[in-house]
Amino acid sequence: MPIIEVENVRKDFMIAKRETGMMGALKSLIKREYMRKEAVKDISFSINEGEIVGYIGPNGAGKSTTIKMLTGILVPSSGNVLVNGLVPYENRQENAKSIGVVFGQRSQLWWDLPTIESFELLKEIYQVSNQCYKKNMDTFTEILGLDEFLNTPVRQLSLGQRMRADIAASLLHDPPILFLDEPTIGLDVVAKEKMRTFIKEINHERKITVILTTHDMEDIEKLCERMILIDHGMKVYDGEIAMIKERFGKIRTLIVDLEESLHSLQLLGGEVCKEEGNRYWIKFNRDEVSASELIAQITKTHSVKDLTVEEPAIESIISRIYQEGYKDLQVSAKV
Amino acid sequence: MAAIKYVNLYFKLISAGIRAQMQYRFAFIMRIIGLITAYTGTAVTMWVMLYQFQVLGSWTFFEMLFLYAIAILSWGFCVILFLHFRSLDTYILNGTFDRFLVRPINPFFHFMAMKFDMASFGQFIFSLIIFIWVSLELHIEWSSGKVLFLLASIIGGILIQGGMLVLISAIAFWTTKSQQFYWVVMYPARNLTNYPLVIYPKIVQWIAAFVVPFGFVNYFPAAVILEKGTPFFPVSIGYFSPLVGLVFFMIAYCVWMLGLSRYKSTGS
């Protein structure tokens, strides 16, 4: 059953045109020209209860704008949004009770106070019962290790600690939906891993629906089964991550280290795309030629020291989609 | 949420705000000292001027000090409650305002309760002392009716000045920046009320009564208590002070909410 439904949503902003230079600045002080910017053009999707969905796209693609419309901060220019049966911007306060929000870049906690005080204030703001508060605090303390910094003022926390505190704070009132806007930004490898484990766990144990935006493809690969990819305010892909890998992951790379350096390496079905000393990168399409066939061809004439076959990471697939567009890529993948 | 819960929440939030402010002890103490110095400075300037003229527009030195005491008494309390609105534009500018919109309570209330300016208590006590001293000097006979009227008009004054802070802050929803307006509107308006309105040209008096109603903060109520005339205006106009405060604050609140809905459709 869909818990979030987005239908033909569009969001325009009017932006003042700025002119450069002193004269330009003076001119725009007197008379300003506005231009329309379409942050989100026409996006539709629906998300079922209990899903973890990666909402990704390059900077300025409209990710945050969409999240803001789902949380009720912004009103869409047109289209329909339904979150947990409510229109977020019409029932903003009611909607707030059923969502948790974490903005990775900005803490929601009381900056100058010991961390525990933020939790206690949020308990009051969300009217969380003592019993529920205690249950949640116990669980989060155990999984996130909150006790090591509960008495430290938020401004003195490390980024990793602050993110842990922020995500715990967003879940105190047991929301069925959690929005995470770049939850792992700036974290080190260990802290990222902790964060991912926690997100997975609450999704699994509590059936919380999670929508996360991120630039870290590892987040997507480790957490989500489904991703929605947007670019220039439009949806370019919506589906399983396995699917996109299956479709675009046909082009593999064989990396070989040869004993001797060659003038050129000619292979049937493969193409050398890069060479460095005795190391060669050979691109091939899995459907046309198998890796073992290629290796056989090479070993027939050369002695091989070492070799590996590389599957493209989701990261490189997505950066190709950003650069070449999804449609073009579909065509080239078929060929 | 029921009103009683809001009251409870208000006290929890402001006590957190006070504790946060106490974290910076040096700044806290300096602010108290700074406020008292500034106010004493104004009082001294007034005294120097009146020493020359003896009376200003039929107001004696102590009568003027009474006027001044009412102004800073209500301003002191207004700052304690509403000063946070002065920094609204900073929140909008750096995007931290959004947090008030993802929580299940009224954002106006939430924003207001985020900060409670403890340091202004120093100012409040200072103005109270001046007020008591001046009323003794003036031999005012405090009947219960007069005390009630004074309290009501101080509340009116708090609402007028608080409403002004709210109105100015709301400009940020349209222009992103609004602190400049504070210096353009609030500062001169408050300076104006340091002296009896009667000394100003008619047009200025008229503006201070009906446009930016700061005349109702101290001049009109003080004239009622001291039984002084208010040329161009009926004597009883001071009795409207609490009502003017209430209406003005309601207008300010509505404009703020209108600004908020604009913010929601334009972002920042």
Q: Give DSSP secondary structure letters for B194-220.
A: TS-GGGS-HHHHHHHHHTS-GGGTTHH
Q: What residue of B is the nearest CA neighbor of A78?
A: B265
pLDDT exceeds 50 at position A334: no
Instruction: Supply the pLDDT for residue A333.
Output: 46
Q: For residue A32, how far is the Cα from the chain centroid?
A: 36
Tokens 């949640």 map to which residue?
A136
Comparing C-alpha atoms, which of A303, A310, A308 is closest to residue A262? A303
Q: Which of B20, B98, B99 sits opposite A113 (nearest CB)?
A: B20
Q: What residue of A is the nearest CA neighbor of B21?
A: A112
Chains A, B: CB contacts within 8 A come to 74
Q: Quick check: A87 contacting B, CB < 8 Å?
A: no
Instruction: Supply the pLDDT for residue A120.
Output: 95
Q: Quick check: A82 contacting B, CB < 8 Å?
A: no
Instruction: Supply the pLDDT for residue A28.
Output: 66
Give the integer Cα–Cα distance in Å for A260 and A257: 9
Chain A positions in Cβ-Cβ contact with residue B20 (cut-off 8 Å): 110-113
Per the prediction, chain B carries an average pLDDT of 88
* CA terminus-to-terminus distance, chain B: 29
Going by pLDDT thresholds of 50, 70 and 90, the confidence category of residue A40 is very high
What is the per-residue pLDDT across A139-160, written as a single tens digit (0 to 9) for each? 999 999 999 999 999 999 999 9
Nearest-neighbour CA in chain A from B7: distance (Å) = 11
Q: Quick check: A86 contacting B, CB < 8 Å?
A: no
Comparing C-alpha atoms, which of B53, B78, B55 is closest to residue B161? B78
Q: Are strands A177-181 and A209-213 parallel, antiparallel or unpaired?
A: parallel
Give the integer Cα–Cα distance in Å for B20 and A122: 16
User: CB distance A110–B16 less than 8 Å?
Assistant: yes
> Domain A2-9+42-245, what architecture?
3-Layer(aba) Sandwich (3.40)
Nearest-neighbour CA in chain A from B159: distance (Å) = 26
Q: Quick check: B25 contacting A, CB < 8 Å?
A: no
Tell me which of A9-23, B82-96, B214-228 is least confident: A9-23
What is the per-residue pLDDT across B95-118, written as a single tens digit (0 to 9) for each? 889 999 999 999 999 999 998 887
* Phi and psi based region of residue B132 (left: phi greater than 0; alpha: psi -120 to 50; beta: remaining): alpha
Q: Give DSSP secondary structure letters for B104-154.
A: SS-HHHHHHHT---TTHHHHHHHHHHHHHHHHHHTT----HHHHHHHHHHH
Domain A250-311 has CATH 3.90.1690: no
Q: Which of A106, A121, A126 sits opposite B16 (nearest CB)?
A: A121
Chain A positions in Cβ-Cβ contact with residue B265 (cut-off 8 Å): 74-75, 77
Instruction: Supply the pLDDT for residue A33.
Output: 75
User: CB distance B267–A92 less than 8 Å?
Assistant: no
Instruction: Supply the pLDDT for residue A113.
Output: 93
Do A169 and A119 touch, CB atoms closer than 8 A? yes
Q: At what angle do helices B25-53 and B3-22 cross, to 10 degrees?
A: 90
Domain limits, CATH 3.40.50.300, in chain A: 2-9+42-245
User: CB distance A93–B105 less than 8 Å?
Assistant: yes
User: CB distance A103–B98 less than 8 Å?
Assistant: yes
| Amino acid symbol at A17 | K
Do B22 and B118 touch, CB atoms closer than 8 A? yes
Instruction: Supply the pLDDT for residue A327.
Output: 63
Q: Quick check: A14 contacting B, CB < 8 Å?
A: yes
Give the integer Cα–Cα distance in Å for A213 and A64: 8
Give the integer Cα–Cα distance in Å for B179 and B187: 11
**Distances A208 to A7, A64, A191, A200, B107 between C-alpha atoms, Å:** 22, 20, 21, 10, 26
Give the integer Cα–Cα distance in Å for B109 and B125: 26
pLDDT exceeds 90 at position A53: yes
Q: What residue of A is the nearest CA neighbor of B23?
A: A112
Q: At what angle do helices A189-206 and A130-144 cross, to 10 degrees?
A: 140
Q: Quick check: B247 contacting A, CB < 8 Å?
A: no
The larger pLDDT score, comparing residue B65 to residue A131, is at A131
Nearest-neighbour CA in chain A from B75: distance (Å) = 27
DSSP A111: T
Give the integer Cα–Cα distance in Å for A67 and B153: 46
Nearest-neighbour CA in chain A from B174: distance (Å) = 12
User: CB distance B19–A111 less than 8 Å?
Assistant: no
Going by pLDDT thresholds of 50, 70 and 90, the confidence category of residue A29 is low
Among B102, B118, B260, pick the best mutation site for testing chain A contact (most A Cβ within 10 A). Answer: B102
Do A289 and A225 touch, CB atoms closer than 8 A? no
Nearest-neighbour CA in chain A from B55: distance (Å) = 46
Q: Give DSSP secondary structure letters for A222-265.
A: HH-SEEEEEETTEEEEEEEHHHHHHHHTTEEEEEEEESS--S--
Nearest-neighbour CA in chain B from A239: distance (Å) = 29
Q: Quick check: A111 contacting B, CB < 8 Å?
A: yes
Give the integer Cα–Cα distance in Å for A253 and A109: 47
Q: Quick check: B112 contacting A, CB < 8 Å?
A: no
Give the integer Cα–Cα distance in Å for B133 and B144: 19
Domain limits, CATH 3.30.70, in chain A: 250-311
| pTM of the entire predicted model | 0.85
User: To the nearest whole percent, how much of chain A has pLDDT over 70?
Assistant: 95
Instruction: Supply the pLDDT for residue A326.
Output: 65
Q: Quick check: B265 contacting A, CB < 8 Å?
A: yes
Nearest-neighbour CA in chain B from A278: distance (Å) = 52
Give the integer Cα–Cα distance in Å for B195 and B46: 9
User: CB distance B267–A108 less than 8 Å?
Assistant: no
Query: What's the rounded mean pLDDT across residues A289-312?
Result: 85
Q: What residue of B is the nearest CA neighbor of A88?
A: B102
State the CB neighbour count (10 A cutoff) for residue B90: 14
Tokens 């020359």 map to which residue?
B52
Nearest-neighbour CA in chain A from B31: distance (Å) = 18
Chain A positions in Cβ-Cβ contact with residue B23 (cut-off 8 Å): 112-113, 153
Tell me which of A49-53, A79-83, B43-47 is least confident: B43-47
Comparing C-alpha atoms, which of B180, B162, B152 is closest to residue B117? B162
**Distances B159 to A244, A334, B71, B249 between C-alpha atoms, Å:** 61, 70, 12, 6
Instruction: Supply the pLDDT for residue A201.
Output: 93
| Amino acid symbol at A333 | A
State ipTM. Answer: 0.85
Instruction: Supply the pLDDT for residue B24.
Output: 83
Instruction: Supply the pLDDT for residue A313.
Output: 73
Query: What's the rounded mean pLDDT across residues B35-55?
Result: 78
Domain boundaries, chain B: 3-266
